[in-house]
Amino acid sequence: MVTRKSRDEIEKMRRAGRIVGEVLALMEEELKPGITTAQLDAAAEAYIRKAGGRPSFKGYQGFPASICVSIDDEVVHGIPGPRVIEEGQVVSVDVGAIWQGYHGDAARTFYVGTAPEKVAGLITTTRLALQAGIAAAVPGAHIEDISAAVEEVASEGGYGIIRQYVGHGIGTAMHEDPQVPNYRTGRRGLELVPGICLAIEPMLAMGGYECETLADRWTVVTVDHSLAAHFEHTIAVTEQGPQVLTAA
């Protein structure tokens, strides 16, 4: 079921989203060689709780942590633990927070150190694909317009677009209808009207788009072990156009 949020509900989502945006800014500061992914997780959880929120990922279908940290060929859902961050890694951090019952969800990919040109291209293109998807989320457009905008940017760079995982509606649940694919499906999908809130989240790989889940039942990696990047924002469709709710 697709729900339209009231102005008041969108303001609550903006509060949740601001917490998420601030946590991602904190992660960027903390992400240095020598820190463990469990330490990043602890810092994120402390920040969310201090801000009056709750981490939405913790306990979600049994997920054991507050954030996902996915490194190099890991696309999404990496579990924080004793792994130590090293120079030269591609690190994707996904954060979700609930504030007064409303969710915010966002992700960014960082490079530890100065990225080689090819890797910087992957990361930048994923960010630009997200921006293009957001810009397409105007009243009167359809889900397919978002998918096409993301696909156009991603395929220009020749990157693999992950198909197994897609964006989603968001509100009082982290995952609501509709799904938001990062590639054209040939179906127009839902017409966007003010009050629809979406998490748009392109995931791109340097190589092919095929993924598999590791034995931990969470971590998703590219089958060809090529590097992957992931950017996500929660947005609201408004009369004035799309509004990013997860800005810092």
**Residue among 27 and 119 whose Cβ is closer to Mg ion:** 27
Per-residue contact flags (x/-) with Mg ion for residues 89 to 128, judged by CB under 5 A: ----------------x-----------------------
Q: Least distance in Å: CB of 186 to Mg ion?
A: 23
**Residue among 169 and 195 whose Cβ is closer to Mg ion:** 169
Q: Least distance in Å: CB of 141 to Mg ion?
A: 20
Distance CA 100, CA 13 (A): 9
Contacts of residues 222-226 at CB distance under 8 Å and 24 or more positions apart, as own/partner, are: 222/73, 222/75, 222/160, 225/73, 226/73, 226/160
| Residue 72 binding Mg ion, by CB under 5 A | no
Dihedral pair phi/psi, residue 211, rounded to 5°: -125, 160
| Short-list 183, 196, 212, 228, CA closest to 75 | 228
Distance CA 153, CA 134 (A): 12
**Residue among 43 and 170 whose Cβ is closer to Mg ion:** 170
Place of tokens 């693999």: 160
Per-residue contact flags (x/-) with Mg ion for residues 172 to 201, judged by CB under 5 A: ---------------------------x--
Q: Which residues bind Mg ion (CB under 5 A)?
A: 105, 199
